Amino acid sequence: MTSVGRWEVWIAAVFWAVVFAAMVAARLRARPTTARGSAGAGQTARPQSTASTATGALP
């Protein structure tokens, strides 16, 4: 029983090390910066209708 528990601990430790390394790599990966006035992180910009801007109406 103790030998099985030892293997489980090592497998879990390796798994968590891989997950932690992937988390750090994702955090350090360069993200493209957005231009001023564009949508924030995680949001998509809504296209503006040309009809509403041509008439001067507010969106």
- Could you write out the DSSP letters of every residue in the chain? -HHHHHHHHHHHHHHHHHHHHHHHHHHHS--PPPPTTS--TT-PPPPPPHHHHHHT---
Give the predicted TM-score (pTM) of the model: 0.45
Q: What is the pLDDT of residue 42?
A: 57
Per-residue pLDDT of the chain (59 residues; tens, 9 = 90+): 677 788 899 999 999 999 999 999 999 986 766 666 555 555 566 666 655 555 555 65
Longest CA span, the chain: 78
Q: What is the pLDDT of residue 22?
A: 95
